[in-house]
Amino acid sequence: MWIVLALTLSLAAQAASPVDASKLTISAAAFAELDVRKLKGELFRLAWSPDARQLYLRTIERDKTGNVKTSHHYLLTLDGTSTGLEAEPAWAAAYWAWKSTQAAPGRPAFKIDVEQQRRRINSTSVPMGGDLAKGGTEGGATGSGVGLGAGDAMAAALQSQMANVYTLKLKGEIVGEFVNAAAVPGLTFGWGPVGTGVIAFANPEGHIVLMDEQGHKQEIASSKSALLPAWSDDGRQLAYLERSGKNKVTLRSVNVTPAQ
């Protein structure tokens, strides 16, 4: 199911010089449909194994106050099947440490700013962050995972509420937004390997965007309702999850080739 193309040059090999995200070549590799009902809980972490043959997925369940009460651990093989694990693998924890940090690994000046504010939120806003991980889909009610009828949508559009909003910004771009919930590092963005100075993030429209420290960027136009972008250790592959329905998630992978 997953077809990985061999590449002659990795992003990591170019760590000494800046990577121009606008000149990266992105090509679709593979995808797999996942049944959320079998995975249990809210999507929380996605990590590549060191050999780029498997991915680790963590889902969580929260209590009524929003605190994590239970974690579930899964190993996803390259044919899209999943196997339950007792705990998070050591390699996944190490991966997440650099993937979700506030600054780009090896480039501390390329850093995400966090803004907190109270603002009025329309109830039909496109979900990001935790709402999308819980089941929201692009164009639907926040956190619902289903679409709205015309009458319901009109009524909802007339409603709004004040909310606490955490916004993650990088070079003027919103790389994550969390409404009435604590920001979760790495849920809406993923840094490239050490020294590459690139990031992949889900923008407010739900599309995956690649950007470098100079602000050059390109969008994966086919992506939608995306979260948990994750680079392989060598920078040659980028995986992410897409919400395609209340109980459906698509795991996608693309190949990333630097400019020659």
Q: Which of 207, 239, 195, 213 is nearest to 112 (CA)?
A: 213
- The predicted pLDDT at position 130 comes to 59
67: its two tokens: 């605190």
Residue 1 is which amino acid?
M
Torsion 204-207-210-214 (CA) sign: negative
DSSP structural state of residue 147: -
As a whole-number percent, the residues of the chain with pLDDT over 90 amount to 59
Contacts with 178 (C-beta within 8 Å, 6 or more apart), sequence order: 128, 129, 130, 165, 166, 184
pTM for the model stands at 0.82
* pLDDT in the model for residue 125: 57
User: What pLDDT sits at residue 1?
Assistant: 25
- pLDDT lower than 70: segments of the chain: 1-18, 78, 123-159, 260
CA angle 81-226-153, nearest 5°? 120
Q: Please tell me the predicted confidence (pLDDT) of residue 163.
A: 87
Of 202, 182, 18, 187, the C-alpha closest to 99 is 187
Task: State how far the alpha carbon of 1 is from the alpha carbons of 78, 96, 251, in Å.
Answer: 7, 25, 11
Contact between 133 and 42 (Cβ < 8 Å): yes
From the DSSP assignment, how many helices (H) and strands (E) are in the chain?
4, 17
Residue entry with tokens 């619902």: 144
